[in-house]
Structure 1
Amino acid sequence: ALRAGERAWASPITLEGLQELRAALKRSASRHTAVACYRNDGMRRMKLLWVVGSARHFGPHGHFPAGTTRRKQPEIPPWIRYAALLADAAGQGHDVGKASIAFQKRLRDATVKQKDSLRHEWVSLKIIQALRAGADWATAWRRLETRPEREGIPFDEGGLSNVFDAFDFLVVSHHGLFGPRNGDAALGAENHVRSNPPFEPAHYKPHAALPDLSLTLLHKKLRRLEKIAPPAGVAASLYWRALSLIARAGLILADHAISSLDKPKDAELYANTHYTQDRTHRLLNQPLDQHLSDVSGLAGRMAYRLATLRLPGLSPEAVERIMERTENPLFAWQNRAAAALETERRRSQQPALVLNLAGTGTGKTRMNAKCACALAGERLVRFATALNLRTLTLQTGMAYHHQFKIGWDELACVIGDQSAIQSPKDSPSSPVDEFADEDENPREAEFETVGDAFFVPDWIEPFIKKKPKMRPVIGAPILVSTVDFLIAAGEPHRQGHHALALLRLVDSDLILDEIDSYDPKALVAVLRLVQLAGLFGRNVISSSATLARPVAFALSRAYRSGIAMRSALDGQTTGDFLCALIDDRLDPEVFISKEPSEFEQRYNARVDRLLEALRGQTHRIPYLARIPRIEKPVEAWQEAIAQAVVKLHDHNAWPFAQTGKRVSFGLVRVANIRPAIETARHLAERFSKNAQVACYHAADLKIQRFCKERTLDRLLTRKTPDNEHIESDPDIRERVFRTDSPDVMFIVVATPVEEIGRDHDFDWALIEPSSTQSIVQTAGRVNRHRLLARSAPNIGILQVNYRKIRKDNVVFTRPGLETKDRQYNDPRHGRNTRGHDLAYLINWSQLTALDAGLRFRDHPFARCDDENLAAMLAEPLKILCMDAKPRAWMVEATYADYPLRDQKEIQQTWRLTEDDRFERWERKRLSSDWISRDPLVVRRQIVSNAWLTWTRDDLTAVASKHRMENPFQLTIQSYGDVDQKFEWDNAFGASRPINELD
């Protein structure tokens, strides 16, 4: 590089070299670093590409000042000061209850394993309430002897109504929300008041008095709260909920930070203990009065920092690449949509909800990123893409990396949770094993991340010091993850993990891909994130080609409730927000959404116009694959699949060069893993002479699944009508040449992992139905890239699914929206008794092509899906938006009853080891060691025509090349006994025992 000035250098450099330079600068950057990089665009124009370190030394376009002046800081919004004051006061009182004889005894005697009958934060609440009422220290403690005083609920039915209600909530909930833990969301004391052990008055007297200074400070800080009140005209319940959420997060962060410090000192009352250096036993640590004072001061600062958090955003260079116009006509709609959003952003700074209804294969992932950049305006670009499937995180991250040339110094991927849910049998249990400390804080999850070093403020450092993988999660301008990490932001009962997730959400727009792939309970958990994004004034971009009306309405309602809370904090009575409806067929529609009814009308009208625009397509032609009625229904089902496969191959096969043979690549979508493996084996045996069969699902070796996905990605990326890359593939050529039959079928039997996010183009598909959404999504993997006009069917839909064949009462479930209470064939709900038969559920006379119209038009199947979805969302949406049970947001059951993942599932991690060429299965225990369980695994003989299978040596070589950790591990889920057997097929993967429900 040539030196061009005192502190300036100029050099030609490649993009890759520039990214490496920036990464190196970031790794060595300190708080004093300020380096700007410019690109010479000619004509005396230098364009700012990025800044490493402090950007305050440069103007918005990279200008460096000759001199500086200081401008008066804008006034801090009152609610931020109030949140800080509230957290500060709560910190001074949060652990007053630790002065009890019971708690101090537990600290001093490590042999005491029994939990307290009153949690210390509940005691803190009751003591402070008595002190506020004028009682002295001793009298306040004596009030605990009276049961109504001891167990009385602190809030009325209306929820938080004043600042002292908010203060009480912070104190009592800083380690956990109110009970119950599941079931009815009626607020109760059971999480804080225990019947076992029974209450002993002698245990709940003060071990010693708090120093006078500590109590004086508490009273002083309580008096400072007296003037805090909601602005005139706003809903008090919304105001206090929003303020409490932010202040509580500040208190939790402060309590965790202070409690982690070693501050041993002689005192009568202590707050906690710490381990000796050899970790053999605990020592008394922080004096209680010092702990209260330290947490108080830090909690106020934490609440302020959380509310004002602004982390580094995407570099201007990266934003420019994302926003580049596309010349491909298939993606031209993206240019129009991005331009419309940029235009509207110049007019209005209101937060936006974007619904992206573009069809499958039209670049929704790319457009979502464009939306985030277009809506940023003058704000730095930061967004988190949340996905439902773990396999899609790295795939989406790599798409951003390769398509937009985003470096790993600006992009992070969370690719999984290290802490698998396993059976308690795997580890010895004790009353305190499930907790990390004497405060009974639950252990926090660890995550695997891919990304570089990222800047975070010094005050965040203590929280990630022992969790270095959290740095990219919080600091990266672009985060790609499963929604599992972010979901904790909307789950206040998860304490520290909740507060850390908020650090991401408060300063990041939110992208929700394939939002309707969640079941209703999981969708409620996702809607909590949408509500929080509205509270923090962030944009939400949601995409799906099959965004059903109930889901769209729920998104709008949740976002509106978050905006309403933000408006209450700002003293505004309106909750308007910007809304954009975009797709690949119609011009973008951007408007200010003022009323729920207006949004619903606009969305309905948009869908109607979209359906008209879809008419006339001939890319995907469906037909009904009927099931013959014979005595053995399972055999009939499998035979129907075999016949449909032959028919679809005949209609869609193409000539393979230099062979005179006809070849096709087909997908058979099966809802669950075990039936998928059985179907794959049946097809392999049935067509042993002319088919190559693979099975793709989640319960496979990590490295084998990687190889399957990589091979399918390569073969089924078909951007041009010819098939030259397939015909030149050595493995495909060899399999075609060695087959004697003039027809060769390559069949992938796959579970729903194929139907979302996989950018594959099959010649045909046969679909086991679970829902209209899954049918449309699976169909999107057919003729996806080539978009050839078809006259014969290339998609078959089975007349009934496997659960119906098995004579289950509820058949469209796991996956699907049918429930025991709302069955699709139940006349009590006005439904036809043929409601499990696709011959009735779809209006075949109207279905000339398979597109999103199947989900949106008036088919009985779509109508049943919509009705069930709306019914299951109705009550939780009322609670989320505080239209019912206004105290429910403070109750653990509100969140536990609507989790993202089914908590009943046991997730087991297994690995296939090799010793002297002898393979052995081992299972991972909760203690992270491995135990041999080889007798539990039933090995199945591999079929001769299995496709997408490799030797162990081949897999080992690939794993070594890609530096893959634990390549021979797999994860299986079970609802039954952890020691039940599973079956293993070297080609087709693992499945649960046949006596377990799929």
Structure 2
Amino acid sequence: MMVTFVSECEKKALNRTRRVLDAFANRIGSRTWQTVITEEGLIAVKILLRKTATKNTAVACHWIRSRSRSELVWIVGNRRRFNAQGIVPVNSTAKNLLNSQWENNWTYLPAIKASVAVSALLHDWGKATALFQAKLKSGTVKGDPLRHEWISCLLLNALVRHAGDSDEAWLSLLQSGELDEQALKTIVMQSATKPLADLPPMAQMVAWLVISHHRLPQLLDRTERNLRQGEEKNTLSALMKSIAAVWGYQNKFDGTEYKSRVADCFEFPDGLLSQSVAWLKQLKKWSTRLLQAQPQIQQLLDNGGYRLLLHHARLCLMLGDHYYSSCPADNAWQSSVTLFANTDEKRNYKQKLDEHLVGVCEHALKISQTLSRFSLEMESAYDIKALKQKSPAGFEWQDKAVENIKQFKIQHEALQEQGYGWFIVNMASTGCGKTIANAKIMRALSDTGESLRYILALGLRTLTLQTGNEYRGRIGLKNDELAVLIGSAAIKELHEQAQREQDEKPVFEELGAESLEQLLEEDLDCGGAPTAAFLDVLFPKHQPKRAEKHKAFLYKPVLVCTIDHIIAATETLRGGKYILPCLRLLSSDLVIDEVDDFDGADLVAIGRLIHLAGMLGRKVMISSATIPPALAEGFFNAYQAGWQVHVHFKQASPVIACGWVDEFTTRVERVDQSDPEKRCSQYQSLHRQFIDKRVANLQQQVVKRKAFIVRCDDLLVEKNDELSRQQRHFEKIHQTIYHLHGSHHTIDARTGKKVSFGVIRTANISPCVALTQFLLQAEWEAGCAPRIMAYHSRQVLLLRHEQEKHLDKVLKRKEKSGEIPEGLKDPLIRYHLDNTHAEHVMFILVATPVEEVGRDHDFDWAIIEPSSFRSIIQLAGRVRRHRQGGVEQANIAVMQYNLRALRQDDKPAYCHPGYETAKTLRLTTPDLCQLVDETVLNHVVNAVPRIQQPESMQPKQRLADLEHQAMHLVLTRYDQKGPQCLQAWLSECWWLTAVPQQLNRFRESEPDMNLYLVWRDGKAVLCEKDERGEFISRQSSNNIARADAMTETMLGRLWLERDYRQALLEQIDTENQFDNDIEQLITKKSERYGEITFPKRDSNDRKWFYSDQLGLFQL
């Protein structure tokens, strides 16, 4: 391609860009270059220019497409030097602004800095105790009776009481620089049980920053936590009155030892730092600044904006502590202080206590100064051709959505400078192109309408690399524009089929430096590229690899990750894992895909994340075809509550633009009611109007899915045991397969055989495996050849990868009527078809709910064991997923009772997974014939009952209504009080503690540990990896045995037969391994790719079994 480069650089940037461009192109003018270049060469030029780019850099690249047309490819540096087409202005006007943009938006930055500085100077004051100093000297890692941050708060409490119990008094005392150590020691010896209770407001804020700089206050006793449910805490003062040492700040496991050691927590033989000139000097300076900021802080305390001040201040303090703790001691530090803050890896003294406090203060202040730059100087992706182009036929709705958003922005241009909120719901149906649409919409929402900077949060880690590939391939994002956060390097390597080994992580031990933990343990898939220079202040230079990964996480325009990684911003109870997600949210909008895959406690946690995004002034989009009304409204409520905090802190407009998007229409409305209740009521009304229109459109579509209910009444009448009823249940599924296969199959052109691909959904892993074994052993009619596969989450990583790779290949069916499915050309499928005499070949996937979400599979028919109405809708979406045209006969069968109901034990049946509970949400019957309208299912299976809430709800009689009620109780009961509910997180002060997260943990239902199927001495052994990286056998201790070998008949009926050793061999480059022991290499590969999950809290009464074909299971 022929390209022209135009440089509008200034000062030193001009010579730097000349050096780069002169190496690649001919200079045809003083600021213009031209050359013929490949696409790879052009990417190299862009990367080199970006590496040296500053605010004075501005280079545009134009592609000469024809004699009469050129096209802007990209701009590096200051885009304001050019217009949208890359044309340079011939004239300009200027206007003097009294304050810079960041000063207008960051009015309260002085208050943040003063709060950060004073809390940093006091945060480890409690390390001056005799006990802590003795601990450092001996090198022990035993927990303190009272943690150092609690002692720091006791010292602050003593300081306030000694000064006179007002903010003016204690800050004036610090201003004087005269600390009466004896008086402080005397007051501390009285050991106040609740030292935060009666402090004045600013002292309470500083005390909270000090006490939470390692961990949020939390109740470790479950009974004590549960007693707090329903307890209202509306003010900072009310909450602080509750906090005592038992909130995570004392170690009292052994009462005798506690009593013998606790006295040393109140002994200060080496003083309280009053002899440190440098420390007192900083305290004088910043206590003066904090006193000057008092009017500002009082204003924030009155309007609720102090929540964002404390959020920013804690983040700066913790990151400053993390940074400085990782640095070596300052050899130039001059001090007579004999107290120390921490030790090095060899357990030798490292930083002196006053050096540490002053160092953390200085560094935390540098970090606070960068906060304003996150929203202004972080990179966005521009010039993305795929997003500029018109959508292809059938996807025009994407462009209409973008156009509607642009029109709304033009109409509200007056609010643009002040800033207003955006909350979008994308409910386009499966297969309509939501991925591309979400990117186009986020581009339209950006300030310029032409850039991308957002986080895409997904529900499953297996989807992150998949989506990353789609973003690179279909949207055209380059490696320097996209970062993909993956669960482990092994997943990425299998995804790319790359064979490489990586070093193990070192083990970190706590030695007076808890701030040394890694901020981001997961692997980040991103190309090397430059980042903003100001980010250097956040991460230590002596850890360059880690710093580069952290900076890439923050800087790359688009971040694709599982929601687990970004939700750490609100869910981290202790340590600094929340820091990077918070910093990223400070500069990135948020898209949550398939948001309704979660329920219960997970929805509360996601609500907390959305509230934080609103508080930080970001735009939020939730995306799924099956969003219930209460979920949309509840998350809007969380967003608007966060946005109001942002309004008070940044003087933004209280207006929130709300958008609803689907494949039929886009609606954007302004929600501007002053009262939160009225805002939610306005949103509810607008959402209902959109849904009514969507339902009308859905009901006019071609019917691709119809269902019937498989009667199982006779199983309840029979007096059989549970196992016999399960076998009879499986037999009914067996008979239903014949019926569905007979109505929905494809004729194989080569053999004339009738072929179908079907899926059977079971609620849990045990019945999934049991049903698979039943079908493998069953008597099948003559002329039928079943090929069966079990698919669930407890499978070895490598074997599951093989399985998913095969399924993704053969089930991505997009053929038109009369065309041969691509899957029938697959070698394995062809082998099965060509090597059987049977006329009917059924490929049957027996799957748990892992098949419901994120798999782009297309089946001919499905049989469903129901857990909820959502489970029916989700799995139905995998039937004729991509193929056009309607059906006459039902292609989905739903069992009348699930296996839990057949137990007849008077316990909830539609749970685990599901929404039914023993009390609040109890159905009157487990009979599906009474819980759903079968005539509707016979006519069409779609999302209407889930997305449209009926006027009169019957949650005990209707399965869909049960789910609406469950969502309402969790998200839209605005009268609820106490830390267990989302509303308290939004409007009360429980956010100052970890109790809300303890009561509603994200993914609490999955307390798993990782085991590894390690190849040793010619056999596979399930092991656990210890802290030193050693693999310890856990088969006998976890009661795991090998499953019985399959018979020849069963093996012959497998869809995909897998062999673990053979799969490991395929990961080894055997041609280049002449000198190495193959068995040893297989062992190494198994240690890397043999990961499998196992429940942490298994009671060990029932035996576990492992099989390459069936995974890890119980019967």
Check whether TM > 0.5: yes
Contact 1:394 1:413 (C-alpha < 8 Å) held by counterparts: yes
Residue 327 (structure 1) aligned with residue 382 (structure 2): no
Q: Which runs of 5+ in 2 are unaligned?
A: 1-23, 164-168, 174-178, 229-238, 492-506, 674-678, 1071-1084
User: Aligned partners of 2:355, 2:186: CA distance in 1, in Å?
Assistant: 25
Taking structure 1 as reference, are residues 663 and 610 closer, same or farther at Cα in structure 2, changes over 3 Å only?
Answer: same
Contact 1:770 1:816 (C-alpha < 8 Å) held by counterparts: yes
- Paired letter, 2:524: T
Residue 811 (structure 1) aligned with residue 915 (structure 2): no
User: Aligned partners of 2:38, 2:1068: CA distance in 1, in Å?
Assistant: 29
- Paired letter, 1:907: M
Q: How does 1:634-783 map to 2 (within 5 A)?
A: 634-686=726-778, 689-721=784-816, 722-783=819-880
- Paired letter, 1:188: I
Q: How does 1:862-901 map to 2 (within 5 A)?
A: 862-873=960-971, 874=973, 875=976, 880-882=982-984, 886-901=988-1003
Q: Deviations over 1:800-846 (max 9, x none)?
A: 22222344512222222222333433xxxxxx2x1x22111111223
Q: Which moved more, 1:852-861 or 1:519-528?
A: 852-861
- Paired letter, 2:757: F
User: Aligned partners of 1:983, 1:637: CA distance in 2, in Å?
Assistant: 23
- Equivalent residue for 1:453? 528
Residue 385 of structure 1 deviates from its aligned partner by 0.8
Contact 1:48 1:316 (C-alpha < 8 Å) held by counterparts: no
- Equivalent residue for 2:510? 436
Taking structure 1 as reference, are residues 505 and 355 closer, same or farther at Cα in structure 2, changes over 3 Å only?
Answer: same
- Paired letter, 1:613: N
User: Aligned partners of 1:347, 1:455: CA distance in 2, in Å?
Assistant: 37
Contact 1:671 1:770 (C-alpha < 8 Å) held by counterparts: yes
User: Aligned partners of 1:934, 1:150: CA distance in 2, in Å?
Assistant: 48
- Paired letter, 2:308: A
- Equivalent residue for 2:498? none
Residue 3 of structure 1 deviates from its aligned partner by 1.3
- Equivalent residue for 1:425? none
- Equivalent residue for 2:685? 601
Taking structure 1 as reference, are residues 22 and 933 closer, same or farther at Cα in structure 2, changes over 3 Å only?
Answer: farther
Residue 373 (structure 1) aligned with residue 452 (structure 2): no
Taking structure 1 as reference, are residues 883 and 736 closer, same or farther at Cα in structure 2, changes over 3 Å only?
Answer: closer
User: Aligned partners of 2:762, 2:1027: CA distance in 1, in Å?
Assistant: 32
Residue 786 (structure 1) aligned with residue 877 (structure 2): no
Report the secondary structure of 1:414's partner residue: strand
Q: Which runs of 5+ in 1 are unaligned?
A: 421-432, 826-831
Report the secondary structure of 2:897's partner residue: coil
Aligned equivalent of 1:192, options 234, 238, 249: 249
User: Aligned partners of 1:578, 1:385: CA distance in 2, in Å?
Assistant: 20
Q: Which moved more, 1:889-898 or 1:541-550?
A: 889-898
Contact 1:312 1:475 (C-alpha < 8 Å) held by counterparts: yes
- Paired letter, 1:455: P
User: Aligned partners of 1:442, 1:888: CA distance in 2, in Å?
Assistant: 28
User: Aligned partners of 2:490, 2:128: CA distance in 1, in Å?
Assistant: 35
Residue 340 (structure 1) aligned with residue 404 (structure 2): yes
Q: Which moved more, 1:578-587 or 1:55-64?
A: 55-64
- Paired letter, 1:153: L
Residue 400 (structure 1) aligned with residue 484 (structure 2): no
Residue 86 of structure 1 deviates from its aligned partner by 1.8
Q: Which moved more, 1:505-514 or 1:184-193?
A: 184-193
Report the secondary structure of 2:131's partner residue: helix
User: Aligned partners of 2:205, 2:69: CA distance in 1, in Å?
Assistant: 55
Taking structure 1 as reference, are residues 885 and 48 closer, same or farther at Cα in structure 2, changes over 3 Å only?
Answer: closer
Q: Deviations over 1:76-127 (max 9, x none)?
A: 4312232122212222222222222222222222247241425334345324
- Paired letter, 1:839: C
Q: Which moved more, 1:864-873 or 1:67-76?
A: 67-76
Contact 2:1013 2:1090 (C-alpha < 8 Å) held by counterparts: yes
Contact 1:638 1:679 (C-alpha < 8 Å) held by counterparts: yes
Q: Which moved more, 1:281-290 or 1:66-75?
A: 66-75
User: Aligned partners of 1:9, 1:637: CA distance in 2, in Å?
Assistant: 75
- Equivalent residue for 1:179? 218
Q: Deviations over 1:301-327 (max 9, x none)?
A: 212313431454343222x32242212
- Equivalent residue for 2:945? 854
Taking structure 1 as reference, are residues 469 and 748 closer, same or farther at Cα in structure 2, changes over 3 Å only?
Answer: farther
User: Aligned partners of 2:50, 2:776: CA distance in 1, in Å?
Assistant: 53
Residue 575 of structure 1 deviates from its aligned partner by 3.3
User: Aligned partners of 1:924, 1:304: CA distance in 2, in Å?
Assistant: 42
- Equivalent residue for 2:357? 292
Taking structure 1 as reference, are residues 49 and 871 closer, same or farther at Cα in structure 2, changes over 3 Å only?
Answer: same
Aligned equivalent of 1:948, options 1049, 1053, 1056: 1056
User: Aligned partners of 2:856, 2:138: CA distance in 1, in Å?
Assistant: 60
Q: Deviations over 1:363-397 (max 9, x none)?
A: 22221112211101327521111111111111111
- Paired letter, 2:523: E
Q: Deviations over 1:687-718 (max 9, x none)?
A: 66511111222222222222222222222222
User: Aligned partners of 1:903, 1:779: CA distance in 2, in Å?
Assistant: 25
Residue 145 of structure 1 deviates from its aligned partner by 1.9
Report the secondary structure of 1:479's partner residue: strand
- Equivalent residue for 1:226? 291
Aligned residues: 960
- Equivalent residue for 2:309? 243
Q: Which moved more, 1:675-684 or 1:560-569?
A: 675-684
User: Aligned partners of 1:52, 1:550: CA distance in 2, in Å?
Assistant: 44
Residue 139 (structure 1) aligned with residue 183 (structure 2): yes
Rg (Cα) greater in structure: 2
Q: Deviations over 1:564-607 (max 9, x none)?
A: 110111346x7331110111133434433531100011112222
- Structure 1 length-normalised TM: 0.89
Residue 654 of structure 1 deviates from its aligned partner by 1.9
Contact 1:879 1:889 (C-alpha < 8 Å) held by counterparts: no
User: Aligned partners of 2:1069, 2:944: CA distance in 1, in Å?
Assistant: 45
Residue 612 of structure 1 deviates from its aligned partner by 1.7
Q: Deviations over 1:19-48 (max 9, x none)?
A: 465457667989998765443355777654
Taking structure 1 as reference, are residues 117 and 419 closer, same or farther at Cα in structure 2, changes over 3 Å only?
Answer: farther
Contact 1:447 1:469 (C-alpha < 8 Å) held by counterparts: no
Q: Deviations over 1:246-276 (max 9, x none)?
A: 111011111111111111556434342332x
User: Aligned partners of 2:778, 2:49: CA distance in 1, in Å?
Assistant: 60
Report the secondary structure of 2:1112's partner residue: strand
- Equivalent residue for 2:26? 3
Q: Which moved more, 1:806-815 or 1:520-529?
A: 806-815
- Equivalent residue for 1:613? 697
Residue 979 of structure 1 deviates from its aligned partner by 11
Residue 559 of structure 1 deviates from its aligned partner by 0.4
Contact 2:610 2:638 (C-alpha < 8 Å) held by counterparts: yes
Residue 103 (structure 1) aligned with residue 103 (structure 2): no
Report the secondary structure of 1:693's partner residue: strand
User: Aligned partners of 1:718, 1:911: CA distance in 2, in Å?
Assistant: 34
Contact 2:51 2:530 (C-alpha < 8 Å) held by counterparts: no
Identity %: 27
- Equivalent residue for 1:154? 197
Q: Deviations over 1:119-150 (max 9, x none)?
A: 33434532443455457332122111224x35
- Paired letter, 1:240: Y
Residue 954 of structure 1 deviates from its aligned partner by 5.6
Contact 1:938 1:981 (C-alpha < 8 Å) held by counterparts: no
- Equivalent residue for 2:271? 208
- Paired letter, 1:886: E
Note the aligned Cα RMSD (angstroms): 3.4
- Equivalent residue for 1:423? none
User: Aligned partners of 1:792, 1:289: CA distance in 2, in Å?
Assistant: 79
- Paired letter, 1:923: E
- Paired letter, 1:408: N
Q: Which moved more, 1:944-953 or 1:663-672?
A: 944-953
Q: Which moved more, 1:666-675 or 1:161-170?
A: 161-170
Report the secondary structure of 1:226's partner residue: helix
Residue 13 of structure 1 deviates from its aligned partner by 4.3
User: Aligned partners of 1:611, 1:749: CA distance in 2, in Å?
Assistant: 32
